[in-house]
Structure 1
């Protein structure tokens, strides 16, 4: 249970981190749009300044024509002032060109970022549809809607793990869970399915492998036995312990942290093992 909760917590943190990354991308996109609007406003201001500068230059030229009879020193000062104005105008033109280049780069980056966001969202949708994105070992399983969740509720008097439905609207638990039995077990791939094949001469229910590709049964089913069965958590494991004086095979619980066997195993008898066939 500790590892189960820890893995669930790690999965939730990863999902939250992906959501935070998506939010950060949206914030970055909004910031770029704001920068683009600011750049456009700056460009308008520069154009206005260029117009004012051009008007000033025309005024200076008019003044120059009027002061042709003024002494040489005055003319030189005016020429210097005009030269400085022209230099400033040239600098303004260069700044405007740089701003246009920056605007185009911002537009391109914004377009790329938008396409990347759309592509990532589409990839996530495709992965969810394909089943490659799965929340492993979820603490709760969603019921019919967001108000009903299936999860562990308590241990009963025989230490069975009991599932119940939690109704979030009033925070109450309900015993209305039914687990539907599968007619087939999936084999190595979607072409092979394990299920009831026939009754033998001793009336035993026989399992077989159904080859969906050629619609034939095959008697190549093997059930692998585990050496140990997991108990209440990863610290408790059930397995063969010893032979008693009547040569009975006795099971025990091995506690890892104590490295000792304990005789507290109880096997609950099932009424029936259900077999049924299902048409492919």
Structure 2
């Protein structure tokens, strides 16, 4: 036999779970077997190896250093087997997909389109989760994430570019004349967003607009709060086109100077590639179709009416 030193393979799962939990009871619960079954397999493994793997004390079970070393090797081997099985298995994944999305984009664009998703892709269930920043699929138990590429993405993630980020000042229609008049942005209070505090500076740099004294300034935590303030007439906000799109369409906001690309893009990140999971493939296609409207090549001279 090629692997003559291998212990009984059916002992390794109970052993690894027992080391990880430092408890046979917890290992039995995870594996859906009895405490006695786990105990017998641990004893079989110890007999096969000719050594004790645990220090057994009253109400305590402590793995030996050798047990911890063996458990780490077993865990690595199981991870590799699991990854290979996922890659080559032909069974179709089932159940809902959990999609994490940045809060403002989730609230102001994605959630209003859920009825369309139910009609267009009725057999793909999606659970939504608000989240931003780095993506951890396993830790956060998510399948997909929509993120802007202003930080490194996980190397193992499959990615699909959805749309380019475009930013520009937005305000209530009755304030537009003040913005485009002689005083420019100095005539209206400026609204800043705490999660992207450099947005006004970025827009000025991209468009070559000089900094002007403002009649007032206010900082709000998220874009959805800043946009709510803008629709209420509190001031003028820098907004991404994607999250202001619906308010622009309804005429609640206008963009007197249009929108300009800021050099970043939004991507759909997925734990499985679309080729491996038909649900991911269909959801990706739906998102690409819906975000196609964001591909309009607006520049600083464009307005929503001309797009």
Q: Which has the larger radius of gyration?
A: 1
Answer whether TM exceeds 0.5 for this pair: no
TM-score range, shorter chain: under 0.3
Structure with bigger RCO (C-alpha 8 Å, 6+ apart): 2
TM-score, normalised by the number of residues in structure 2: 0.18
TM-score (norm 1): 0.19
